[in-house]
């Protein structure tokens, strides 16, 4: 079993990769994948702390976050498909539907 410090370092690297991907990339699908990566890093923290403390609260919360992540993916992909049908691109720089 890895130490909690090692798990926290891995989780930090995953979260940092997700933040960097959201800030750097301009493709909407890649941005959604990076958001999922950040949620998975948080889930890894929940599981690590639950295992360290001997409770199941963190595991239950991680399962709940996975459910929210699945809903976020479904809604996000529906929005991306609708934007692609309307603008024929998934680049977030080219989408200006809310500008007056």
CATH of the domain at 83: 1.10.287.3510
What backbone torsions phi and psi does residue 56 show, to the nearest 5 degrees? -110, 5
pLDDT at position 84, please? 92
> What is the value of pTM for the model shown?
0.87
Residue 43 lies in a domain: yes
94 within domain boundaries: no
**Each residue's pLDDT tens digit, 87-98:** 898 998 888 877
User: CA–CA separation, 36 vs 31, rounded Å?
Assistant: 9
Which stretch of DSSP H or E encloses residue 72?
helix 57-87
Asked if residue 52 belongs to a domain, the reply is yes
Average pLDDT of the chain to the nearest whole number: 92
Residue 93 lies in a domain: no
Q: What per-residue confidence (pLDDT) applies to 100?
A: 63
pLDDT at residue 2, rounded to an integer: 84
Does the pLDDT at position 49 exceed 70? yes
Considering the domain boundaries, does residue 63 fall inside one? yes
Domains of the chain: total: 1
Decide if 37 contacts 22 (C-beta within 8 A).
no
Which residues span the domain enclosing 31?
Answer: 4-87
Q: Is residue 33 part of a domain?
A: yes
Q: Which two tokens stand for residue 5?
A: 């410090």
């Amino acid at each position: 079993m890895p130490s909690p410090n090692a798990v926290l370092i891995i989780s930090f690297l995953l979260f940092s990769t997700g933040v960097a991907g959201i800030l750097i990339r301009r493709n909407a699908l890649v941005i959604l994948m990076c958001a999922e990566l950040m949620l998975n890093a948080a889930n890894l923290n929940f599981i690590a702390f639950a295992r360290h403390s001997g409770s199941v609260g963190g595991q239950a919360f991680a399962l709940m976050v996975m459910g929210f992540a699945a809903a976020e993916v479904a809604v996000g992909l529906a929005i991306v498909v609708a934007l692609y049908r309307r603008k024929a691109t998934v680049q977030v720089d080219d989408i200006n539907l809310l500008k007056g």
